[in-house]
């Protein structure tokens, strides 16, 4: 990653290209052991990633000992302390793997 530096004890668990209900365009999603990172590619010739949003995993709500991440088809809804986010994947297997 060019724009986000992983911490020494943080590992990448999942990466994919998605859309986000609160942000425009396609985004690069990276799930690490601590955060969900959204980056946007910018540039035609020289591609660079720009950090758009970070969701800390501890900000995701838990109800009855279940993390509030629900998958329905290609969409995954994440309930955080601040708001509800809908991420759309380009394949149902990718959405299932993320959830």
pTM of the model: 0.86
Determine the 3-state secondary structure of 69 from DSSP.
Answer: strand
Name the band, by pLDDT with cuts 50, 70 and 90, for residue 3.
low
87, 27 Cβ separation under 8 angstroms: no
Q: Mean pLDDT across the stretch 10-33?
A: 92
Question: From residue 91, how far is each of 18, 19, 31, 71 by CA, in Å?
Answer: 10, 12, 17, 12
pLDDT digits 0-9 by tens, 53-95 = 999 999 999 999 898 999 999 999 999 999 999 999 999 999 9
């Amino acid at each position: 990653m060019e724009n986000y530096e992983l911490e020494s004890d943080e590992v990448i668990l999942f990466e994919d290209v998605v859309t986000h209900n609160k942000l425009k365009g396609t985004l690069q999603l990276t799930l690490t052991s601590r955060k969900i990172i959204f980056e946007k590619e910018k540039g035609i010739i020289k591609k660079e990633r720009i950090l758009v949003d970070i969701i800390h995993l501890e900000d995701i709500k838990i109800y009855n000992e279940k993390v509030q991440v629900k998958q329905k088809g290609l969409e995954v809804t994440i309930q955080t302390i601040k708001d509800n986010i809908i991420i759309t994947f380009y394949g149902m297997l990718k959405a299932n793997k993320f959830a």
